[in-house]
Amino acid sequence: MNTEEKGLGSWTEREREELLELGHALFACPELGFQEVKSARILEDFFEKNGISFEKGLSVTGIKASIGKKGGYHIALVADMDALEVRDGENAYPFHSCGHSIQTAVMACVLKRLKERGIAEKTGGQVSFIAAPAEEFIDFETRAKLKEEGKIRYFSGKQDMISKGVFDDVDCVISMHINGDSGGPLFDINSTLAGFMVKKVIFRGKASHSGAAPHLGRNALHGASLAMDGIAYLKDQLPPEAGLKLHPVLTSCGGTVNVIPEQAVLETYIRANTLEYLLEAGEKFDRCVTHCGEALGIETEIINTTGYMPFAQSQEITEVVHRQMLELCREDQIVKNVVSGASGDIGDLGYLIPAVQFGFSGAEGRIHSAVFSVGDEENAYFRTARVAEKTVEAILSDPSLQVKNPDFQKKKEFYLREWLGENRE
């Protein structure tokens, strides 16, 4: 087998070892969002050792390492830093079961290779590695505390970094995510991710004796129950391509059987495939629960938590990525255009800046479970590195591939105001 077939490209044995060492070191120190202190230290040491300047402590633990001249076309290699919490019987512990340690190691080593090969100097471009904390939407208590202390403004790393201007000078984003077991197709391109928002509705009625005087009370559960029906009917009001998913749960309904319930709480995610459908569904939901409550004389309060935007990939960059993949594998080993029900904060970035997140296989066990491992290191680390490196090189070498978002400022203003609700806080 020649080196090209192995996906080795011109990577030396030492470079391959270094990438695996970094990947294994990061995999061995899983940390939850905004607490990726040891992982950040490992990356900082890596850039120090390789003479690459970087900013650290961005949104608590994030890192931005850059090569090339400011003002040139600027590509960001974006990777997630955080782990998940998994459960094994009674024990819960942080674990890299979403493969974020792989993306981080690969993108860091790709930046180092690009520097050593002088790609930024040769082309007049700029490349940054941006490690973002807290992609997984979990552990709200810790994040609420960090918010109170003024360390973060938003619960997702990329949202917080966007609000602090970390991406303001970036022209396009290249990222990757593990997405399948070893043995299957090697890559996927141009998949979409759903967007979501979180709704919590508090129905407030009036308690009274359920036998002697129910008419003196107002049953909060009746309001919630009517709203559950209304929400189910809402699913008919958007077309199938909207990908609307609504799964409300009654998370609390206090009281005992001889008391008319005073309060009931309904919570749900609302998911949809495009921002327009998601915002429309959010409005319909609010109208539905408010009026179901009103119909029975029950007060409602809606508490909104911002989720992630739907993700649509840049077609132009996808084409470049696709061409690099075909240097390494056959067309039928690349899955295309999957409409995924999963979400990620790459959706928020993709709304503002042309972005791709190509998928790669190589997992063993199940993603997001306690039995996850990397089975195919050749694909997970080396072919992906090659795709990312060659994509950057191709874009920087050909100005016709250098897409930008001319509406960045306008879109960012809308994003901060309407999506993150900056002025509502």
Footprint of Zn ion on this chain (CB under 5 A)?
98
Question: Is residue 324 within 8 Å of residue 391, measured between CB atoms?
Answer: yes
Instruction: Tell me the closest approach of the beta carbon of residue 75 to Zn ion, in angstroms.
Output: 21
Q: How far is the CB of 357 from Zn ion (least distance, A)?
A: 10
In angstroms, give the least distance from the CB of 34 to Zn ion. 15
Exposed/middle/buried for residue 303 (C-beta within 10 Å: 0-12, 13-18, 19+):
exposed
What three-state secondary structure class fits 150?
coil
Closer to Zn ion at the Cβ: 201 or 380?
Answer: 380
Give the nearer residue to Zn ion in terms of CB position, either 338 or 416: 338
Cβ proximity to Zn ion: between 98 and 292 the closer is 98
Residue nearest to Zn ion (CB): 98
Q: How far is CA 260 from CA 4, 77, 217, 251, 407, in A?
A: 72, 56, 6, 17, 54
Instruction: CB nearer to Zn ion: give 98 or 221.
Output: 98
Which one, 98 or 220, has the nearer CB to Zn ion?
Answer: 98
Give the residue with the Cβ less far from Zn ion, 83 or 260: 83
Query: Closest by alpha carbon to 99, among 387, 328, 384, 386?
Result: 384
Q: How far is the CB of 183 from Zn ion (least distance, A)?
A: 21
Cβ-contact 170, 412 below 8 angstroms: no
* Minimum gap (Å) between residue 129 Cβ and Zn ion: 17
DSSP-derived pairing of the beta strands 245-246 and 299-305: unpaired
**Inter-CA distances, 216 with 211, 254, 256, 272, Å:** 11, 18, 17, 41
Neighbouring C-alpha atoms within 13 Å toward the C-beta of 346: 30
Q: How far is the CB of 193 from Zn ion (least distance, A)?
A: 11
- Residue 342: is it exposed, middle or buried by C-beta count within 10 angstroms (0-12/13-18/19+)? middle
Residue 142: what are its φ and ψ, rounded to 5°?
Answer: -60, -45
Report the distance separating Cα 53 and Cα 162, nearest Å.
21
The gap between the terminal CA atoms of the chain, to the nearest Å, is 59
Q: Which lies closer to Zn ion via its Cβ, residue 79 or residue 328?
A: 79
| Alpha helices for 296-375 (secondary structure H) | 315-326, 346-352
Q: Closest distance between Zn ion and the C-beta of residue 117, in Å?
A: 29
| Shortest Å distance, C-beta 341 to Zn ion | 13
Compute the distance between CA of residue 43 and CA of residue 22 in angstroms, rounded to an integer: 8
Q: Which is nearer to Zn ion, 238 or 374 (CB)?
A: 374
